[in-house]
Amino acid sequence: MATITNPLDLDRIDLRILRALARDGRMSWSDLAVEVGLSLTPTLRRVRRLEQDGVIRGYSARLDETRLIGSMAVFISVTLERQVDEVLNAFEAAVAKVPEVMGGYLMSGGTDYFLHAFVRDLDHYRGLLGQLTRLEGIAHIQSSFVLKTFVSRTAPLLD
């Protein structure tokens, strides 16, 4: 199985800690220590170091967007009329306030932005599309609906 390289030179215990916390960020420190085969103090020392080094950015609950927003995932390509800072910044600020948009990416190539959104149904999508087309500076929008998700990770594969 292919996995990412280890640019930080993390040892096998660090990788075990990361895998365990990626799987269950709410596990107790004592359960984590048992799982990685260390006592509590060295386990906590390693976790703190991984946090300080920025390898662990934080802990959060994974919410189910399909239950909260809708089960139809859509990727939306947006091309702007002009790619100047004021237009880019205004677009990003406006889209950041749209609850259906779960991810937004400034792209290279033929599309300026790629948005990942969830909607309940086509009527909901039309409402979202209407919101987006009313934004200043939009030249073109193209959408693709997800038929099947086959990979969705919250952390990279660690070897």
**From CA 156, how far away is CA 141, in angstroms rounded?**
31
Sheet with 113-119: strands ordered across: 101-106, 113-119, 72-80, 138-145
* pLDDT for the residue numbered 5: 53
**From CA 91, how far away is CA 94, in angstroms rounded?**
5
* pLDDT for the residue numbered 67: 94
Mean pLDDT of the 86-110 span: 97
Q: Which of these, 27, 24, 60, lies nearest to 44 by C-alpha position?
A: 27
* pLDDT for the residue numbered 9: 79
Give residue-wise pLDDT tens across range 31-57.
999 999 999 999 999 999 999 999 999
Computed over every residue of the chain, the mean pLDDT equals 93
Six token digits for residue 103: 């991810």
pTM attached to this predicted model: 0.83
Instruction: Return the CATH number of the domain spanning residue range 65-145.
Output: 3.30.70.920
* pLDDT for the residue numbered 21: 96
Q: Where are the domains of the chain?
A: 12-52, 65-145
* pLDDT for the residue numbered 100: 97
Q: What percent of the chain has pLDDT over 70?
A: 96
**From CA 121, how far away is CA 157, in angstroms rounded?**
33
Mean pLDDT of the 131-140 span: 96
* pLDDT for the residue numbered 6: 56
Residue type at 56 in one-letter notation: I
CB 131 within 8 A of CB 84: no
Q: Where are the alpha helices (DSSP H) in the chain?
A: 12-23, 29-36, 40-52, 65-68, 85-96, 122-133
CB 24 within 8 A of CB 35: no
Instruction: Return the CATH number of the domain spanning residue range 12-52.
Output: 1.10.10.10
